[in-house]
Amino acid sequence: MQACVPALEAPGRTRRVWFVCDVLGIACAAGTWVLVLGAAGVLLRALLLPARDAAYGVAHGALFHLLAFLALAAHERAMLTDPGSVPLGAAPGGPRCPLCGCARPPRANHCMVCQRCIRKMDHHCPWVNNCVGEDNQKYFLLFTLYTALGSLHLLLLLAVPALRGYARGEWDSHSTLTPRASLVFLLLVALKGFLFASAMFATQMHAICTDRTRIEQLQREGAEQGRGSTWMNVKAVLGHPLSLAWISPFASPQAQRARGPRGVV
């Protein structure tokens, strides 16, 4: 049976180290890191280091590794941030969860993997080995964003030289994409990453803009509550005010909300 481990749960502190002890999730999360780091290494060895133009290699190497770094940083924050677990044995009154016994607030759902009720639970994602909920949705969104951008960059790096070679009639002779095993590996990683991450980014943006979690969408709940404008809904997840912190996996949206003007989200 899996268990959720909120270590360092000091009273009065909202920031906790959080790690879900789920073997499948740990394997998927580790696999994500292996794919990203593997793609970065193969890209360097097979495509960028052999490039005749050093500036081309440095510029694209720096861009891809920056996107990969931001994706992995967001992945780590999504995995290790408490997604919004409802404290066990919370204040009496209201409906109680029959599975974990907490006083379940509105819009919270019980996760069978985390074995806890999670505020605004969207879904449990094995690729980040955690629930996506109220307190880590920003990090999950950034993980999908940077993964999609990095994968798109990789696809373009593969496609542009190949198309140039094809245009010159050198489809079989261009040398920058050898050996072929590296090309196939990069192509598969880039395609999988782009298709998966861009689809997840789109569904997350839809959920954020409409302020309806995927569970609420499936249960057809939440639409009647009219929870504010799209702009307010986005700021409620990414923080207030609009700033570069929105795209930083190192900036906590909770801290931004705390510093923001009272009553403004």
Name the residues annotated as catalytic.
Answer: 125
Both tokens of 37, joined, read: 């780091």
Q: Which of residues 167-186 bind Zn ion (CB under 5 A)?
A: none
When asked if residue 29 is in the footprint of Zn ion (CB under 5 A), the reply is no
Binding span for Zn ion by CB under 5 A among 7-15, 65-73, 122-130, 138-146: 122-130
When asked if residue 111 is in the footprint of Zn ion (CB under 5 A), the reply is yes
**Which helix (H) or strand (E) segment is 19 a member of?**
strand 17-21
The residue type of 180 is R
Binding span for Zn ion by CB under 5 A among 47-55, 94-102, 163-171, 204-212: 94-102
Least distance (Å) from Zn ion to the CB of residue 124? 4
When asked if residue 117 is in the footprint of Zn ion (CB under 5 A), the reply is yes
When asked if residue 24 is in the footprint of Zn ion (CB under 5 A), the reply is no
When asked if residue 99 is in the footprint of Zn ion (CB under 5 A), the reply is yes
Is the link from the previous residue into 95 a cis peptide, with omega within 30 of 0? no
When asked if residue 124 is in the footprint of Zn ion (CB under 5 A), the reply is yes
146 within 8 A of 76, measured Cβ to Cβ: no
Cβ neighbourhood burial of 197 (10 Å; 0-12, 13-18, 19+): buried
Reference 249, options 150, 143, 149, 148; nearest CA is 143
Please identify which residue in 100, 103, 125, 234 interacts with Zn ion, judged by CB under 5 A: 100
Q: What 3-state class would DSSP assign to 193?
A: helix
Catalog residues that contact Zn ion under the rule CB under 5 A. Answer: 97, 99-100, 110-111, 113-114, 117, 124, 131
